[in-house]
């Protein structure tokens, strides 16, 4: 009941065979997974997602196969993704790259002025309040404005964040699916994945990364160039040489890896 309340659901498991997907040896691989749009379908707002009830269990099982080298790499804050990954104890990179949860402890990876971020959050919320359909999301190190429910206001959201971008030199504006984000310079999923791959226990293993968004492209490209397995989830241009149709296919593939 609790699980249903916060958006968990059961899911019939279909054939996990994904045509064209190379065989992987998890024992010598490191698995990096985006969350929204990759493990779960996107919803109208970040807290409206539906998570299959076996998600954490599946992630834990795959993590065991790769000796703990399974990392969630999300644009969300660690705190906002944790409730959906309750039974998963492995590493989480949030922010994306602004914070990390290692051994259950979340720490900041980049210095930002909390007062500045709070003030930007206030302004974003005030802006969204006068533009019905826009949703302002506060993150520990930045802000996001979602326009999924009001695509006609995308240009207004962009213009607003451009002004904040120009007046806050330590931050930069990013475009993601149905959202614009202002985040600190010097972070990114590709930088976090690279840093992990340079150190134990990741160094010397094959990187695998699944991502769905334009913000995942630099990481997909890096993983591909490094000889790893880069997998784009869904439609759209990509640097990845592999593609799966949707998050459901990703989940079924992970279930098959968990059982292998």
The contact set with Mg ion (CB under 5 A) reads 34, 36-37, 212-213
CB nearer to Mg ion: give 91 or 211: 211
Least distance in Å: CB of 36 to Mg ion?
4
Q: Which is nearer to Mg ion, 100 or 217 (CB)?
A: 217
Closer residue to Mg ion (CB): 131 or 243: 243
Q: Which is nearer to Mg ion, 213 or 217 (CB)?
A: 213
The CA-atom distances, in angstroms, between 76 and each of 25, 138, 224, 229 are 29, 10, 24, 23
Burial environment of residue 126 by CB neighbours within 10 A (0 to 12, 13 to 18, 19 or more): exposed
Q: Pick the closer one to Mg ion by CB: 37 or 52.
A: 37
Report CA 257 to chain centroid distance, whole Å.
Answer: 20
Report whether 233 contacts 211 (CB < 8 A): yes
Question: What is d(CA 187, CA 192) in angstroms, rounded to the nearest whole number?
Answer: 8
DSSP 205-238: SEEEEEE-SGGGHHHHHHHHHTT-EEEEESSS--
Q: What's the CA gap between 102 and 83, in Å, rounded?
A: 16
Q: Which among 172, 191, 168, 188 is positioned nearest to 180, based on CA atoms?
A: 172
Q: How far is the CB of 212 from Mg ion (least distance, A)?
A: 4
Shortest distance in whole angstroms from residue 234 CB to Mg ion: 9
**Minimum CB–partner distance for residue 43 and Mg ion (Å):** 12
User: Are 99 and 73 in contact, with CB atoms under 8 Å apart?
Assistant: no
Rounded to a whole number of angstroms, the minimum distance from the CB of residue 37 to Mg ion is 4
> Minimum CB separation from Mg ion for residue 42, in Å?
8
| Cβ 93 to Mg ion shortest distance, Å | 13
**Cβ proximity to Mg ion, 37 vs 46, nearer residue:** 37
Under 8 Å CB-to-CB from 4, ≥6 apart: which residues? none
Kindly state the DSSP code that residue 28 receives in the 8-state scheme. G
Of 63 and 250, nearer to Mg ion (C-beta) is 250
State which residue has the least CB distance to Mg ion: 37
């Amino acid at each position: 009941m609790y699980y249903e309340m916060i958006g968990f659901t059961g899911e019939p498991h279909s054939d996990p065979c994904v045509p064209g997907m190379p065989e992987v040896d998890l024992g010598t691989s490191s698995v990096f997974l985006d969350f929204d749009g990759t493990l779960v379908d996107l919803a109208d707002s970040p807290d409206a997602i539906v998570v299959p009830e076996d998600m954490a269990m599946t992630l834990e099982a795959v993590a065991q196969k790769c000796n703990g080298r399974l990392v969630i790499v999300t644009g969300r804050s660690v705190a906002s993704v944790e409730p959906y990954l309750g039974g998963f104890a492995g590493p989480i990179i949030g922010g994306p790259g602004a914070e990390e949860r290692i051994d259950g402890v979340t720490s900041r990876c980049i210095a930002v002025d909390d007062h500045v971020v709070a003030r930007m959050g206030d302004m974003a919320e005030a802006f969204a309040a006068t533009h019905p359909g826009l949703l302002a999301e506060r993150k520990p190190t930045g802000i996001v404005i979602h326009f999924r429910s009001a695509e006609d206001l995308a240009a207004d959201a962009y213009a607003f964040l451009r002004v904040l971008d120009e007046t806050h030199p330590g931050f930069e504006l990013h475009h993601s699916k149905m959202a614009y984000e202002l985040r600190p310079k010097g972070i990114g999923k590709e930088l976090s994945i690279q840093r992990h791959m340079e150190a134990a226990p990741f160094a010397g293993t094959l990187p695998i990364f699944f991502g769905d968004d334009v913000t995942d492209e630099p990481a997909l490209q890096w993983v591909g160039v490094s000889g790893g397995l880069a997998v784009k989830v869904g439609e759209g241009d990509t640097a990845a040489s592999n593609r799966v149709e949707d998050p459901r296919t990703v989940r079924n593939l992970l279930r098959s890896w968990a059982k292998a």
